[in-house]
Amino acid sequence: MGEEKIMTSATTEMAISKVPRRIRWASLGPFIALAVVLLVGTMLNSNFATGTNIANVVTRSAFIAIIAVGATFVISSRCLDLSVGSMMAFVTGIMILTMNQLEPSMGANAIIVGAVVGLLVGTACGLLNGLIVTVGKIDPFIVTLGTMGIFRALITWMSDGGSIPMDRALREPYRPVYFGDLLGIPIPVVITLLVALVGAFILYRTKYGRRCMAVGSNADVARFSGVSVAKVRTIAFGVQGLCVGIAAICYIPRLGAATPTTGQLWELQVITAVVIGGTLLRGGRARIWGTIAGALILEVIANLMVLSNMVSEYLVAAVQGVIIILAMLAHRFIK
């Protein structure tokens, strides 16, 4: 008990000492960048700032944002998960198959069972990644590169390379989860906000959050202060998996199908969102709200590329790359 207290106060001090005043300014970086992008968008195209367009963009950034909240846990504990996109496809596949199986006997309630199954399968996939990394002591990059291939192959196999469509009878009852709104706020946005709130609470206000930062900034020091590095990291991967499950719940009602291309390359968008948001790729510092801003920035840029006529369709990806690098450089200079 005594040891635990010392350790806690030690990590608290570490966390505090890592947030001196001038970095506070830098942590506003992603929000300033988002404001700039929004401003530019409004000036470039009159259709940009319309309610429908903003609602569309914010709603579809939800998947990346939710997964990126999980990735903030993993990355701040100095790990990396490349499998999230494939895992997402795999989880949606399992969910749809479960719901289709149960629909004849349960009707629309099959959606609830499917959602629970999605959360469980997602968490299990995340924990699997985590256990291979921590128990197997293998670099997370390689582990999740491996599971990325495994999940992708599983969804391809499950769908015979085609698609796994959701039963027609489930489409209408499930549709509002993506297309509906709560007091005017689209449901996926509400879910994203909840996930971010809980994520921020855990990372900033709980013992686990402080341990996560301690492990991320210096695993050896954390270990000497009595923190189980393996446990912290395994849980972080579990949280990542859970977030993938939540994202899958919001994703399925949009198109009602899982295909081998579902979630393709999302891992890169997720990592980009996290890093734009101010979380350190080398661990030890997490910015949940920055991550959300990062996900929004990516989606807004993609939206602007289509709305404005300035960029040739062949060069869209290049311009996006340049903007991301510029945002990171600006971040550095604000510091």
| Contact footprint for another protein (CB under 8 A) | 45, 47-48, 50, 52-53, 56, 60, 156, 159-163, 165, 179, 254-255, 257, 259-262, 264, 302-303, 306-307, 313-314, 316
Min. distance of Cβ 251 from another protein in angstroms? 9
The 3-state secondary structure of the chain, one letter per residue: CHHHHHHHHHHHHHHHHCCCHHHHHHCCHHHHHHHHHHHHHHHHCCCCCCHHHHHHHHHHCHHHHHHHHHHHHHHHCCCCCCCHHHHHHHHHHHHHHHHHHHHHHHHHHHHHHHHHHHHHHHHHHHHHHHHHHHCCCCCHHHHHHHHHHHHHHHHHHHCCCCCEECCHHHHHHHCHHHHCEECCEEHHHHHHHHHHHHHHHHHHHCHHHHHHHHHHHCHHHHHHCCCCHHHHHHHHHHHHHHHHHHHHHHHHHHHCEECCCCCCCHHHHHHHHHHHCCCCCCCCCCCHHHHHHHHHHHHHHHHHHHHCCCCCCCCHHHHHHHHHHHHHHHHHHHC
Our CB check for another protein shows the closer of 144 and 303 to be 303
Min. distance of Cβ 176 from another protein in angstroms? 12
Min. distance of Cβ 256 from another protein in angstroms? 8
Min. distance of Cβ 249 from another protein in angstroms? 16
Our CB check for another protein shows the closer of 105 and 312 to be 312
Our CB check for another protein shows the closer of 226 and 321 to be 321
Min. distance of Cβ 290 from another protein in angstroms? 23
Our CB check for another protein shows the closer of 194 and 315 to be 315
Our CB check for another protein shows the closer of 63 and 289 to be 63
Our CB check for another protein shows the closer of 118 and 260 to be 260
Min. distance of Cβ 329 from another protein in angstroms? 27
For 78, phi then psi, to 5°, come to 65, 40
Min. distance of Cβ 245 from another protein in angstroms? 18
